[in-house]
Amino acid sequence: MSTKNQKITDKIMVALSERFPDSNPTIIEVTTENFKYQLERNDNYSYFLIRYDIDPIGNLKIDWKSAESFMM
């Protein structure tokens, strides 16, 4: 994984951990436009696909309203 991709993944993980502190978030896949993640609470798992963008100065912008659930 390139340094740029690792930085994006790290930023996404921080955002997920802040938004879902009690749900053990895990990143499944990151593309240039969206990412898939898993939430776990009491052995129940939920999976979501969500859009994001990185602005010109490097800030992560996650479109939380775009979250779509999917089955694994």
Spatial distance between the Cα atoms of 41 and 1, rounded to a whole number of angstroms: 29
pLDDT at 4 over 80: no
Average pLDDT over residues 36-62: 94
State the pLDDT at residue 5.
83
Over 90: is that where the pLDDT of 27 sits?
yes
Over range 14-24, report the average pLDDT: 95
Mean pLDDT of 28-33: 94
Tell me how many domains the chain contains: 1
For residue 20, the enclosing domain spans 3-69
Q: What is the CATH number of the domain that holds 59?
A: 3.10.450
Predicted confidence at residue 1, as pLDDT, reads 62
Task: State the chain's mean pLDDT as an integer.
Answer: 93
